[in-house]
Amino acid sequence: MANVRTMDDLRREEAGRGVRPTPNPWAGGAAPAQGAPAPNFTPAGGYTPIPDQQSMGGVGAGDVYIDACGETIPVSSLSPWQLPMAMCCPCCIGDPCSENRRNWYVNQMKTFIGIISIIQIFIFIIEVSLSGWVGILDVPSDVLYVMGGKVASNIAAGEYWRLITPIMLHAGIFHLVINVFTQCMFGIQLEREWGGSQIAIIYVVAGVYGNVLSVLFAPYALSIGCSGSVFGLFGAQVAYIVGMWRQLGDLQKKMLLLSLGLSFLFIFAFSFGVGVDMSAHLGGFLAGLVMGMGFFANKWDPNNWWAKAGPYVAFGTVAATMLIAVIFFWHNKELGYVEGS
């Protein structure tokens, strides 16, 4: 990977030739200053590249850059096999411990996704402490039940908090690593593009919505995990790209299609394992997609009716269907509710 030349490498080369270097506004994962000039730039920043309106109005003169975990790398310096890697594991492109990347790693700990990932790790430590070291690989069901796993009969009895708490629980170390790695590599860059408040709303609502569908379609399963939330972020990203599509140049479109293809392959592999709650994944994705259509309705053509009505339709749909589901759950004997419980 030593042959990968970052924007900072190019700046040093320019300085060596006596050329005044162009500042790198994204060094260490920082956002560009307001009004700062921007090259054609695609922040991969984790799981997938996300178009940024300020810097991606179309491919013009010069190179196209990828923000790969704090290092800004020209696409022209990547080999054909390095480009897909930049889409799914950008920290592996170039020096993973460069100064810019060390600063980037620290900055990510301060994001909503970074903070909730740390909390999930601490909660998993509590799970293991309650179940013994054997729980590292497979946390016993009784521990997950006590800590708030999704149990349809309990939710029907009024324990609606069990629609939220499963987001923070994991069944074992591999389950935890996969979910935390995915949401960090995928969600942190989305948070940088969209802001912490939007990410938090999508993450939590998609997770709850996934658990709602899990109650409906897998009522006898004890379900836990933040997969529904992660799928919600992916659904919102799809909505964002749909809204941005008309503003992108050909190269950005090709890179985004490549990224989405890799994401769908990952999701396909991730969704059909033994014990995987497909209904939670589907519910999270649908909620994220619909909320994304609402949040990013302003990216659509202003003459399209969705640009104005989209937020009301999208958020109203999510809220209404969730309310109907919660009312349906109340003391529903089909979900295992027992009178007097």
Residue 227 falls in the annotated catalytic set: yes
Average pLDDT, the chain: 77
| Cα–Cα–Cα angle for 99, 105, 110, rounded to 5 degrees | 135
pLDDT tens-digit readout, 248-258: 777 677 777 77
166, pLDDT greater than 70: yes
Provide the pLDDT for residue 64.
Answer: 62
Of 175, 259, 263, 281, which residue is the catalytic one?
Answer: 281
145, pLDDT greater than 70: yes
Provide the pLDDT for residue 55.
Answer: 36
d(CA 314, CA 312): 6
Residue 131 falls in the annotated catalytic set: no
pLDDT tens-digit readout, 41-52: 444 333 333 333
Provide the pLDDT for residue 90.
Answer: 72
Of 223, 227, 229, 259, which residue is the catalytic one?
Answer: 227
More confident residue, 338 or 156: 156
Q: Are 51 and 125 in contact (CB under 8 A)?
A: no
Structure tokens given for 148: 């708030």
98, pLDDT greater than 50: yes
More confident residue, 217 or 262: 217
Nearest CA to 70 among 40, 48, 46? 46
Provide the pLDDT for residue 211.
Answer: 94
More confident residue, 87 or 206: 206
243, pLDDT greater than 60: yes
Supply the pTM of this predicted model.
0.77
Within its chain, how far is the Cα of 169 from the centroid? 17
pLDDT band at 22, cuts 50/70/90?
A: very low
Provide the pLDDT for residue 272.
Answer: 56
